[in-house]
Amino acid sequence: MLERITTLPISELIVFSLLLNLFLYGLSIGLYLLLQKYTCSTYIQEEQQAITGRDIRLSLFTIVCNAIVFLLGVWLYKHGIINVSEQSTVWIIILQTIGLIVGMDFLMYVFHRLAHIPIFYSLAHVRHHEHSSVNAISLFVLHPIEAIGFGLLIVVLLYLFTFDVMAVTLYLIINLLWGTIGHIDKDIFKGTLFERISRDVLCLTVFHNIHHQDPDSNYGFYTLFWDKCFKTYRKV
């Protein structure tokens, strides 16, 4: 499958990349709507964030930015600059997926902290924080610099280390799932066994909602480790 994708003519590869990212965009929105509808939790914030035409246009441009990063990854792979393996054992794939989560957890924390430096915040990240609450497309309301920057982080890891293509795929699925969960305006895990087990370790729904209200705290994406380590954690 990987070889088939990388040997596509450039025009077909561009279309494939755009359609893939459009599908992931729709998948995230669909998951958001399902969780909003079928969870009994109350809203985290009193005022819900409206979806504007400007937000829709920017979120669609984020899809284009993600497609550009995908095309760059394919180009780097074809030229031997990054490598991925195939047909690894299940355990190797699981360990590599965990490795990607751990590595990206650190890189995304650092990138997010840098995005809050005043000059960068006013240039790009402020657009995301115009959403003091969150809605179905908040995850994709990003300045192009920020969208491409986040995408390039995994390219850096793939340059430094070789991962199985299935591990990369699993990580990207988890990333989309966790990003969507982080931008839901309901405490969907409240009172569950999962919350009791993971609330001191993982960045759950309320965690990122707090960041949208208090931009000087809770920069993490997957775990609380780096926020606790660098004293930026605001307890839920």
- Mention every residue, 6+ apart, whose C-beta is less than 8 A from residue 193: none
Mapped onto helix, strand or coil, the DSSP state of residue 223 is strand
pTM across the whole model: 0.92
pLDDT for 12-69, tens place per residue? 999 999 999 999 999 999 999 998 887 777 777 777 788 999 999 999 999 999 999 9
Mapped onto helix, strand or coil, the DSSP state of residue 61 is helix
- Rounded to an integer, what distance in angstroms lies between the CA atom of residue 148 and that of residue 64? 10
pLDDT for 74-112, tens place per residue? 999 999 999 999 888 999 999 999 999 999 999 999 999
Task: Report DSSP letters for 94-149, one per residue.
Answer: HHHHHHHHHHHHHHHHHHHHHHTSHHHIIIIIHHHHT-SS--TTGGG---HHHHHH
pLDDT for 175-202, tens place per residue? 999 999 988 888 888 888 888 889 899 9
Confidence of residue 117 (pLDDT cuts 50, 70, 90): very high
Q: Which of 48, 16, 6 is nearest to 185 (CA)?
A: 48
- Cβ atoms of residues 152 and 69 within 8 Å: yes
For residue 217, the model assigns a pLDDT of 93
Question: pLDDT above 70 covers what percent of the chain?
Answer: 99
Residue carrying structure tokens 């180009």? 75
* pLDDT at residue 236 tops 70: no
